[in-house]
Amino acid sequence: MDRRGHRRSFSLRRKGQAPDWLRLLWRVALATGLVAVALLGHWLDRDGLRDNFDGAVSFLDVLYFTVITVTTVGYGDIVPVTTQARMFDTFVVTPVRLFVWLIFLGTAYDFVFKRVWDKWRMKVIQRRLHDHVVVAGYGTSGAEAVAELIKRGAAPETIVVIDDRTTALEIAEACGVAVMEGDATRNAVLEAAQVARASAVIVAAGRDDTSILIVLTARGLAPSVPISVVIKSQDNEAIARQAGANTVINPTSLAGVLLAGSTHGAHIASYIADLAAAEGQVALHEREVLAGEIGQPLSQIRTGLGLRVYRDEHSIGFWEGAAQRLEPGDMIVEVVPLDIGRAPG
């Protein structure tokens, strides 16, 4: 069942490992084999054919007649004259002709038309990508992040999911987001996702070493884009920050904080979850200080309950003296009613 209660079915499949040249060679061999069957049948029953040009049917005539019959309906210069030859053309050569055309058309679609179409469609999507969110990794954390973004009002087409697993991308694509199959640790993949024009990058590769490498690659391509990463080991959190992550989230540590908080009050953990989730009554909201708020204390803002000020990369709590006078460029973190938290900053 999906999140809306609808039953969903998934097919189990594995991506083929054969290279393109081997698949093309296999199709050519199959078409050649089908033509060979028709050629053998015509040669063994060559007495059932009549050559209207010279009356004699040689091997070259049979080869010519077979190729012409398989690829077209024939020119009439060589024709079957016996019932057996006509039945062979009806029940063997005609199906062979259909299969050969299907092979040719399928090959043209796979190796020419589909690739041209995909490249054109990808360029159109790339041109439209701006202020989007790039999600590298569509495992448990990545999928939850995408679902939460959509719940908070983000349009699915403004989210790009990168993963090297076809099945994961099929699930992501069903949500309406743009998907890209590839290795997010590579520059070319992130460049194709227009990471430099993104509003944020979420990294949830499932492995700390891979996630940190993705952060490092993304930071090199997008020096000013905020990057959030999921790190499982506490020892790797500092490394992730050194790689360029603005926010490092450890699910285990966060769960521990919620569990510990619940022992000091029955409603503490639920309120923290209320702040973090889209279904709650309140939300955390980050914005730049307004012109009319400059010079005022954090406690006097009208949009919500001010909690913290970020000034020149320094964190200032609402109880500190520096929070008593807001300055240009300050970033404010506040608690607001949910509808405001969903609104664009």
Q: DSSP states of 164-221 as a string? A: S-HHHHHHHHTTT-EEEES-TTSHHHHHHTTGGG-SEEEE--SSHHHHHHHHHHHHHH
Environment class of 111 (CB within 10 Å of its CB; exposed 0-12, middle 13-18, buried 19+): middle
Sheet bearing 314-317, strands edge to edge: 282-288, 331-337, 305-311, 314-317
pTM: 0.56
Ordered structural domains, the chain, with CATH: 20-127 (1.10.287.70), 130-249 (3.40.50.720), 281-342 (3.30.70.1450)
Residue 262 has pLDDT above 70, yes or no: no
State the chain's mean pLDDT as an integer: 84
* pLDDT value, residue 212: 96
Residue 336 has pLDDT above 50, yes or no: yes
Letter string b/e over residues 5-24, b meaning 16 or more CB atoms within 10 A of that residue's CB: eeeeeeeeeeeeeeeeeeee
**Mean pLDDT within 13-22:** 57
Chain segment 283-327, per-residue pLDDT in tens:
888 899 999 999 999 999 999 999 999 998 799 999 999 999 999
Q: What is the dihedral of CA 206, 211, 213, 216, to 10 degrees?
A: 170
* pLDDT value, residue 306: 92
Nearest Cα residue to 110 out of 207, 184, 23, 219: 23
**Mean pLDDT within 40-64:** 90
Chain segment 66-115, per-residue pLDDT in tens:
998 888 877 888 999 999 989 998 899 989 989 888 888 877 767 777 67
Q: Which amino acid is at 8?
A: R
